[in-house]
Amino acid sequence: MAPIDGPQLPLRALREHHLAPADPNAWPGSLPPVRQILQDGLELGRITVLTGDNGAGKSTLVEAIAGAYGLNPEGGGTGAMHATRATESVLAEHLQLVRGAGAPRSGFFLRAETMHALFTYYEEIGVGGMMHERSHGESVLALVSERSRIRGLWLLDEPESALSLSGCLALLGLLGDLVEGGSQIILSTHSPVLAALPGADLYEVGEWGLRRTDYDDLSLVRTWRSFLDTPQRFLRHLQ
C-alpha cells in the first residue's frame, strides 16, 4: 500500500458507518467489494484506481463515496444542485469517510453516465462555456481543465467513454497536475491507458472483492494485450 502522506489528504480511509450498518444480504451490501470495505475498510493513498468487469461494483463504490463526501451523485462540484432521475444506491448512508486532519472539503465528481446533464447544468448557470457545441471528448477535457482550480477530492467514473487514446493521455496529464497540486484521485476505468496513471494504487474489483494488483498483472491489461496481439482468437466465434 502506498504511504498516506500529508495532513491535507481529503480522505484517508473508508469504513462502515456504525450508525447505519448495511445489510450484507441485500444489494449493494451483497456485492463482494462493498462487503469487503464495510467489513475491513480501505486505506486510501493519493491515487486509487479501480478496474473490473461490468457489474462488479466499481461505479457503485465511486458513486457512494461521492455522495458520502457531499458531492452531487450526478456529477459536478460541491455546489452542483442539478438532478434528473435518482438511481444511486443507499451505500453512501452506510459509508464513513475518514478525513485527513485539516483536509480540504472541496471536490469534483465526473460521471460518464450523467455528463450530458452536467454539461447542460453548467451551461444554464454560465459555467465552463458551451460544452454541447464541442465533441464529447473535447467537452470532458475542457471541463476537467476549467475546474482544475478545485483542489480536494476528485472522483471519476469511467471517463474514457468519451475519449480517444490521445484524449486519455491528455486526461492523464490533467490528473497528474491535480495530484501535484495536492488533490486526491479516485478513478474507476476500463481503460489500460488511464489505469497507468503514475503513482496509483491499483485494485481489481470482482467476485473476490478488491485485490491490490500490479499494472502488468491486471486482467484488463493482460486481456487487451492478448487481443491486440491476436485479435482473431477473440473474433473467431463471430465468423
Q: Kindly state the helix (H) or strand (E) to which residue 141 belongs, with its residue range.
A: helix 136-146
- The predicted model scores a pTM of 0.88
pLDDT average per 10 residues of sequence, the chain (239 residues): 55 91 89 95 97 94 93 74 61 91 87 67 64 65 88 94 93 96 96 98 97 98 96 83
Sign of CA dihedral 119, 127, 163, 200: negative
Q: How far apart are CA 203 and CA 36, in angstroms?
A: 13
